[in-house]
Amino acid sequence: MIRAIPVHGQNGFTLVEVLAALALASLVLVSLNLASSGVRQSVERTHRSLADQAALSAAIGIFQRDVQRIAKLRRASGAKGFMFEGNPRQVIYPASGHRGASQAGLYQVRLAVRDVKGGTQLIRDQIPMLPGGMAGEGQSWGDAVVLLEGPFDIGFSYRAPQTGGRAWQDSWSSTTAMPEQIRLTIEDRATGRLRVPVIVQPLQVDAEPECAADALRCGAAAPEGASP
């Protein structure tokens, strides 16, 4: 006689085991996705940081080269002071030795801070030097270039330590002297911390040029401090 052998168990997984495995797999996938997202965000932050540093470095380099080329020129006959204007958000000065200069070899440069959504821009533009000195009404600035843009607070200040002016000034309107140094500060608008070390650039204007001057009709250059 053949007897049936009782079955005490079956091979395979129970429903509870399958659900537990699916839950575990879901947790693993979520963890991998979070890790991947974190890595991606870190890479994006690194790329943004590198791009910001490159833009800052380029803007500072242009600022330094421009300031080194500032020409020490008096205004046209009958006007007091030098062809230089500065305040916390704008600097205007004559510069020489640059491609695109006027026939007189001089052009006027303006570095200006402009407010935009989410921050500021540092803009550089220029205009050929015209008789009469500083740019006036009716003259249009050209060749505008955005040197820097972002959530920054940008400012200029001025001083002349060799002639006793050791304190930094927010504006420069002296009629008897040029500033000896220009300071550029770039701060993070959100934190107020410096994005780069403060840049202090000296002007190389120890000697006044011969008034490139015939074309500008500004007369012979006079010693600093002398009556124009």
Residue 149 has pLDDT above 60, yes or no: yes
For residue 122, CA distances in Å to 14, 49, 130 come to 68, 18, 25
- Inform me whether the pLDDT recorded for 215 exceeds 50: no
pLDDT band at 96 (very low <50, low <70, confident <90, very high): confident
Highest mean pLDDT among 9-13, 33-37, 121-125, 163-167: 121-125
Alpha-carbon separation of residue 2 from 5, 6, 7, 8, 157 (angstroms): 9, 13, 16, 19, 108
DSSP string across the chain? -PPPPPP---SS--HHHHHHHHHHHHHHHHHHHHHHHHHHHHHHHHHHHHHHHHHHHHHHHHHHHHHHTB---BPSTT--SBS-EEETTEEEEEEES-TT--TTSEEEEEEEEEEETTEEEEEEEEEE-BTTBS--TTPPPEEEEEEEEESEEEEEEEEEGGGTEEEEES-B--SS---SEEEEEEEETTT--BSSPPEEEE---SSPPP-GGGTTT--S---TTS--
Reported as half-sphere exposure (CB side, CA atoms, 13 A), residue 34 has a value of 6
Return the minimum-mean-pLDDT range out of 83-92, 103-112, 117-126: 103-112
Cβ proximity of 122 and 59 under 8 Å: yes
Instruction: Kindly provide the b/e burial profile for residues 36-73, where b requires at least 16 CB atoms within 10 angstroms of the residue's own CB.
Output: eeeeeeeeeeeeeeeebeebbeebbebbeebbebbbbb
* pLDDT for position 216: 44
What pLDDT is stored for residue 177 in this prediction? 83
Higher pLDDT pick, 140 / 116: 116
pTM: 0.68
